[in-house]
Amino acid sequence: MTRTLAVIGAGPAGLAAAVTAAEQGMTVTVIDAGLQSGGQFWRHPSEPHLPHFARDESVGHHHWRRFVDLRTRLDAAVARGAVRRLYGRQVWQILAGGTGFVLHTAAVAGADPVPPAERAVSAERVILATGAYDRQLPVPGWTLPGVMAAGGVQALVKAHQIAPGRRAVVAGTGPFLLSVAAGLAEAGVEVVAVCEANSLLRWARRPLHAALEPGKLLEGAEYARTFLRHRIPFRSRTIVTRVHGEDRAEGVSLSRVDTRGRATGEPTRVDADLVAFGWGFTPQLELAVQLGLRTRLDVDGSLVVDIDADHRASLSGVYVAGEATGIGGAVQSWTEGELAARTTVADALGTDAPARRRGLRRRVARARAFARAMHAASVVPTEWSRWLEPDTLVCRCEEVDAAAIAEAVDDQRAEDPRDVRVTARPGMGWCQGRVCGFALASLVGERTGCRWSTAQIEPLHKRSIGIPLPLGEIAALAGASTPPEPESPHAHALAPATAAPDRP
Ligand SMILES: Cc1cc2nc3c(=O)[nH]c(=O)nc-3n(C[C@H](O)[C@H](O)[C@H](O)COP(=O)(O)OP(=O)(O)OC[C@H]3O[C@@H](n4cnc5c(N)ncnc54)[C@H](O)[C@@H]3O)c2cc1C
């Protein structure tokens, strides 16, 4: 009987999955690149510096009690030897073979180094709960210091309690803008404009779906109160068409736009030293694509892992939960985490709780209906590329501008994003297309007249080495003994219960 499980990611989905699987009898290794659990949603200050923070139920984060509950149960599972935590570790490669999977890991900057022999982790089953990252669109001036991804701004405020500027403009689309603006205002930053590219009336098109999630409506009401208290101006159908400044951001031009994103009227200038852009999120799929899991395009144009109703992926032994299956928010993520874990337990141990799984499936379906309404209300305007100028950088790593992408398509006959990538090099640099991938696919699609397909997008996520890695890590593989194929229920030795702190 197989019992070992590796959970990659300790955000809402991964935490719920690890805790559930351990409580149902699996032996779990949970791995996260972060130095502590929580993922993006429950990002919080460093626990060694604020040790009581992670146990304090009165903390103002949304759904913090849920986090405290999961953390407490995880600690208990660690103490009885059912869970091993590997934090500050990034999985850079995952290989399927024999009776399970081998995960190659590397310590992240700032974490303790890992001896070569301990870098590989094996398990019979894997739950991928790798979350998402910020989706960005280029605009003239977006490379100036002071311009940041909205998620990055949120991380500085939540984890480091730093106010990253004095006067902020928050722009893009989606409810996440409200959360970022509210967080900035509470941190003492003057938020001079929140610019939503779409009309709020778009929400009215699916009122029932929105009403299905009363928790979200309450969150919205809370943000409205914060906006009123801090007098934050909210402008719908408005975008930033340019960031001004010499050495850093000094202001922005704001324009009203029509439903397609075409500017109407004259832009107005607003002074700001912080500009936070959020255009939704992109699921983090490197490991899923490495494993060759079947993928599909979601309603927001993102590539996601294609799963069955119980969260099994197309490869036996692999399950996926959270934003890697589609962007839907934290509640959906932790519900999916529990469902994926219960399915894993049913497959591995034969013990099932069918009624509980049915309930979880229904909860996920409700959350997905809300997510569809959210995506329909928060679309990237189809003609956003009008905001670009020929010399606007699209790929910051390789310094490829909009004109070079147009030239690759028009003059060099590149047919799809992958072709353009090998021709003009966008997406070939340090971030491997994580920042420019969506913009690139969208620009190429517009020029070729073809909406992008799974086959065109998947190669942009394909990396045999998932993260930038020192060559020494790969060289060390030659010297390290390969971990034994997992064969018994406890094939991977667990660290002693007492030696498993929340940090590596
Ligand atoms: C930057 C950012 C900030 C966000 N802030 C908010 C917010 O304030 N409010 C809100 O409602 N929603 C926020 N979201 C949306 C949010 O991601 C989700 O709703 C929720 O956190 C999703 O949970 P998850 O478990 O699916 O993924 P996540 O919370 O993203 O957790 C995934 C975890 O997997 C880990 N991971 C990924 N790949 C690897 C790997 N190869 N090796 C090891 N570890 C890996 C990551 O370190 C991360 O901790 C944010 C998203 C982003 C990208």
For 4-41, the pLDDT digits (tens) are 999 999 999 999 999 999 999 999 999 999 999 999 99
**Mean pLDDT over residues 314-337, rounded?**
97
The response to whether residue 134 sits with its C-beta less than 6 Å from ligand 1 reads yes
Ligand 1 centroid to Cα of residue 130, in Å, is 7
Residues of the chain with CATH 3.50.50.60: 4-133+282-373+482-499, 138-278
Mutate to test the pocket of ligand 1, among 20, 37, 40 (most ligand atoms within 8 A of CB): 40
Which residues lie below 8 Å from residue 122, measured CB to CB, with a gap of 6+?
4, 6, 100, 101, 102, 103, 483, 484, 485, 486, 491, 492
Tokens of 219: 């969150």
Q: How many CB atoms lie within 10 A of CB 295?
A: 23
Q: What is the residue type of 359?
A: G
* CA-proximal residue: ligand 1, atom 51 (nearest): 40
Q: What is the per-residue pLDDT for 491?
A: 33
Side chain identity at residue 413, one-letter code: R
Alpha carbon of 339 to ligand 1 centroid (Å): 18
Nearest-angstrom CA–CA distance, 465 and 290: 9
| Nearest to 150, CA basis, from 330, 278, 284 | 278
Output the CA–CA distances (angstroms, integers) from residue 48 to 18, 54, 163, 197, 358, in the order listed: 23, 10, 21, 40, 40
Identify the band that residue 479 occupies on the pLDDT scale cut at 50, 70 and 90.
low
Tell how far the Cα of 368 is from the centroid of ligand 1, in angstroms: 17
Mutation pick for ligand 1 pocket among 20, 30, 37, 41 (CB with most ligand atoms within 8 Å): 41
pLDDT tens digit sequence for 340-399:
999 999 999 999 899 999 999 999 999 999 999 999 999 999 999 999 999 999 999 999
- What is the distance between the alpha carbons of residues 18 and 31, in angstroms, rounded to a whole number? 10
Cα separations in angstroms, 256 against 241, 252, 398: 10, 13, 32
Average per-residue pLDDT for the chain: 90
Q: Over the stretch 262-281, which tens digit does the pLDDT of each residue have?
A: 999 899 999 999 999 999 99
Residues 6+ apart with CB under 8 A from 18: 7, 10, 28, 30, 74, 77, 83, 341
3-state helix, strand, coil in the chain (%, to 5): 40, 20, 40
Of residues 212 and 234, the one with the higher pLDDT is: 234
Look-up of token digits 């997510």: 371
CA-closest residue to ligand 1 atom 6: 41
Nearest C-alpha neighbor of 184 from the set 289, 294, 278, 293: 278
The string of pLDDT tens digits covering residues 409-425 is: 999 999 899 999 999 99
Name the superfamily (CATH) of residues 138-278. FAD/NAD(P)-binding domain (3.50.50.60)
Give the E-state strand segments of 284-437 in sequence order.
295-297, 303-305, 318-320, 393-395, 400-401
Q: How many CB atoms lie within 10 A of CB 146?
A: 19
- β-partners of residue 172 are 196, 278
In short, whether 445's Cβ falls inside 6 Å of ligand 1 is no
Domain 4-133+282-373+482-499 has CATH 3.30.565.10: no
Please list the alpha-helical segments (H only) found in 132-285. Answer: 150-160, 176-186, 207-211, 214-230
C-beta contacts of 422-430 below 8 A and 24+ residues apart = 424/400, 425/395, 425/398, 425/400, 426/394, 426/395, 426/398, 426/400, 427/395, 427/398, 427/460, 428/395, 428/397, 428/398, 429/395, 429/396, 429/397, 429/398, 430/397, 430/468
**Spatial separation of the C-alpha atoms in residues 88 and 32, rounded to whole Å:** 6
Using a pLDDT cut of 90, give the percent of the chain over it.
Answer: 75
**Residue 485 clears pLDDT 50, i.e. is over it:** no
Tell whether the model's pLDDT for residue 1 goes beyond 60.
Answer: no
Rounded to the nearest 10 degrees, the angle between the axes of helix 64-79 and helix 12-23 is 40
